[in-house]
A and B are shown apart, each in its own frame.
Chain A
Amino acid sequence: MEWETVIGLEVHAQLATQSKIFSGAATRYGAEPNTQACAIDLGYPGMLPVLNAGAVRMAVKFGLAIEAEIAPRSVFARKNYFYPDLPKGYQISQFELPIVGRGHLDVALDDGSIKRVGITRAHLEEDAGKSLHESFHGQSGIDLNRAGTPLLEIVSEPDLRSAREAVAYMKKLHALVRYLEICDGNMQEGSFRCDANVSVRPVGQAQFGTRAELKNLNSFRFVERAINYEIERQIALIEGGGTVVQETRLYDPARNETRSMRGKEEANDYRYFPDPDLLPVTVDEALRNAVRAELPELPDARRARFQAEYGLPAYDAAVLTASRELADYYEAVVAAVPDESKLAANWVMGDLAGALNKAGLEITESPVDASALAQLVRRIADGTISGRGAKTVFEGLWAGEGEVDALIDARGLRQISDTGALEAICEEVIAANPQQLAQYRAGKDKLLGFFVGQVMKATGGSANPQEVNRLLRAKLQA
């Protein structure tokens, strides 16, 4: 039987505020345990939450960016459950009236097509603390620094049809929140995390199959692997005569498998009700307009502009605008060498991206800054160095061994483009190889390569190959 996969993602993006969503405690990552948990975050009696204006603005910003309806009035609700890292016994979230309504995100798929993925809603909520299960004499340790950190939970429609599509959507969302500067997107630190609802159904069946919710997907690679594992598991289960149970499953990256989290299901009765400590939140037109005015150029618009303004192919434009920082870097290079936009794109996407990837560095950590790369591009464009010589210069730049022009001279990479000097060398080479000359003139065109090689050898590789080709062709013909 042919199976179709149906996936919906719930992404939690930690909002990049200075203070908590309902208190004035700091949100900085990596602080000493419990040094950023104040009486409100600890759920002390008599404490009252006061909503952070920054978190509201960020949620509105996101809503506008996905062309969603922003609720003029939204309501906070209590989600009730017991866990030691949840001091109040409830999480303040939004349930019936979220701040961001239905929107969408256009995602580029592997085949180059664009898929519009629906976003059901996005709502504000507070994060819980962290439980540490190391040995504390058989007890668990609780760090409540993260309690009360603002989250935007972004819920997609079940529009995704494969693990690859899910990852493409998640990457696009990741780029968007970073463009908007509402989330640092740091997945290792848990600032951007994802749960996936996965089900399968026979192709052609309209009704959804029973879904499993996958948790603990804290990297793009894990999202893809966990979903693929889960698809296989469900198909094997059904084809073996079993049925999928609706449950929460934890992904174990070490074993690359998902495992049932038994015992948590019975507790899924959250008894949501409006939080009496918080009044309804209003977002009026003035606020919407003010936030709209702050919106940066969004990834799709920037991609289109890169194609139009710099004459880049769609693929290059998409790669270069995948992150705001990379696009900024590219634009800084092009600003210095405006006539070489495609050559600059090749270097940013090729040698630079490759070196960064190999070293595990972000573009913002690049040892080669945009002005240095621009100078390198300029020297290739004006014929000072060959493409091969440029790679040597790049290695020097990467290793911090000097500036472009100094490296070119230090390594003797300056090409001989001086026609007079090259002409003389070409003539010498031709004179020294009469036999090959005769063969060439008898029709053995391939020998052009031999002559080019001899000239390159005579110049120690520093001749401009295009120029050598041009000169040799003319002289061999004569």
Chain B
Amino acid sequence: MALDADDVHAIAHLARLALDAGQVGVLAGELSQTLGLLEQINAADTAGVAPMAHPLDMTQRLRADEVTEQVDREAFLAQAPASEAGLFLVPRVLD
């Protein structure tokens, strides 16, 4: 399956990546090649094979429902570009 420039733009938008014009063509080729590999895998006969959710053949360990984390808010806020009144500030967003 070959991806065209529109596909690359759509994928880049979903990943919030800014691409310059020169990159689009290159990425379309590279991504198409990658999809080719996946098509090869897709072609394998997997009837009777259970889908794998994780390469480790183990099950999830659980932890007890207890509060174990004390949060040092000031330390986290100090790493943000902007904060005020205990909140992280980000460019304005509206629903």
Contact = CB atoms under 8 A, between A and B. Distances in A.
Contacts of B59: 73, 279-282
B65 A142 contact: no
Summarize B's interface: helix, strand, loop or mixed. loop
Give the contact-size bracket for chain A.
Answer: 35 or more
Contacts of B53: 75, 97, 274, 279-280
Please classify how large the interface on chain B is, using the bins under 10, 10 to 19, 20 to 34, 35 or more. Answer: 20 to 34
B87 A143 contact: yes
Contacts of B61: 50-51, 279
A278 B93 contact: no
A23 B76 contact: no
Contact of B87 (A53, A80, A141): A141
Contacts of B21: none
Contacts of A54: 64-65
Interface string A46-87: 000011111110000000000000000101000010111000
A51 B62 contact: yes
B43 interface: no
A241 interface: no
A32 B86 contact: yes
Contacts of A35: 71, 73, 86
Given A133-B94, A279-B53, 18 more contacts: A19-B68, A24-B68, A25-B69, A26-B69, A33-B85, A33-B86, A35-B73, A37-B73, A42-B76, A52-B63, A56-B62, A141-B88, A142-B87, A267-B14, A274-B53, A279-B54, A281-B60, A282-B60
Interface of B: 14, 16, 53-54, 56, 58-69, 71, 73, 76-77, 82, 84-95
9 contacts: A18-B66, A32-B86, A51-B61, A133-B92, A139-B82, A141-B85, A267-B14, A279-B61, A281-B60
The 10 closest A-B pairs by CB, nearest first: A54-B65, A24-B68, A141-B87, A53-B62, A38-B69, A33-B86, A279-B60, A142-B88, A75-B53, A24-B69
